[in-house]
Structure 1
Amino acid sequence: MKITIATDHVNEKPWNKDGRSGVIRTQDAQAETKKFRQSVRLDLGNGEAYKPGVYELDVEDNMQVGEFGDLKFARRPTMKLIEAKPAPVAARSAA
């Protein structure tokens, strides 16, 4: 599966429930196969943001069986960077 990440921006959503609190950190991406293309959210947990670029996600390597026998996708998938996106070039000022 091809995953494209356009920016290193991290979305942070604070939560508070029953005296506990935290921040849900996600990063927007585009998932693509031969059958579909869809915007998705990648859960970052406390980890670093993915660098912008095109990644290959091996679906079989990122599947697991849950405690009740259900098929689950890895919470933080492992992906291989196949094409880095160049850093934006700063605009030059006129002298």
Structure 2
Amino acid sequence: MTFRYASVKSDCYWHIRAPAGRRIQFQVRNLDTNCMEGCDWAGFEINTGNLDLAGMLICCSSVTGSTFTSLGNIVTIKGTSKFNNANMVINYRVV
């Protein structure tokens, strides 16, 4: 998942779906963004459960190696970039 420098804010969405009754387990393998509180310049919002609520916002490499499991069969990832590049690599599997 990669964003390139943009002069205006840009968003991109990815949806990972497992079969009904299954969940998704994923690990952040690499994260390359500007690490700052609030992730104002670039980051990724990962929603692992209730899609009516905001997900976890990440932009710091301290999450690299962390493993997460969805509450249901869908994970939604929103990438946001404004005046910066953002790169994230994840591995995922159905559990």
TM-score in terms of structure 1 length: 0.25
Q: Which has the higher contact order (CA 8 A, sep 6+)?
A: 2
- If you compute each CA radius of gyration, which structure gives the higher value, 1 or 2? 1
TM-score of the pair, normalised by structure 2: 0.25
